Amino acid sequence: MSKFYHSLESEKYFLSSLQSDQQIARQKARASAEQAITNLIIIVLAVAAGFYAIKSMPVWLPVVESSFHKITNYRYI
């Protein structure tokens, strides 16, 4: 009887450890999915910012260029 009891206990322990392993695997999968979504959002925002910067280049490029010339005292030859 005691062997039977110990085998039941070991089976319960095995099943509970299997469930906890599955929970850990689910948590890791969820965390990696959340990280992938976050990375995708960052990439989309960076691309949108790049397109906006290129679209507004005629506005900000002369300002940056004149500031550069003022700071460096650069003159066209």
Contact 57, 63 (CB under 8 A): no
Structure tokens at 39: 């990375």
Task: Look up the pTM and report it.
Answer: 0.53
**How confident is the model over 16-74, as pLDDT tens digits?**
777 788 888 889 999 999 999 999 999 999 999 998 888 887 777 788 878 877 777 76
Query: Would you kindly state where each structural domain of the chain is located, as residue ranges?
Result: 2-72
Q: How big is the CA angle at 59 (ends 55 and 42), to the nearest 5 degrees?
A: 45
- Side-chain half-sphere CA neighbours of 74 within 13 A: 8
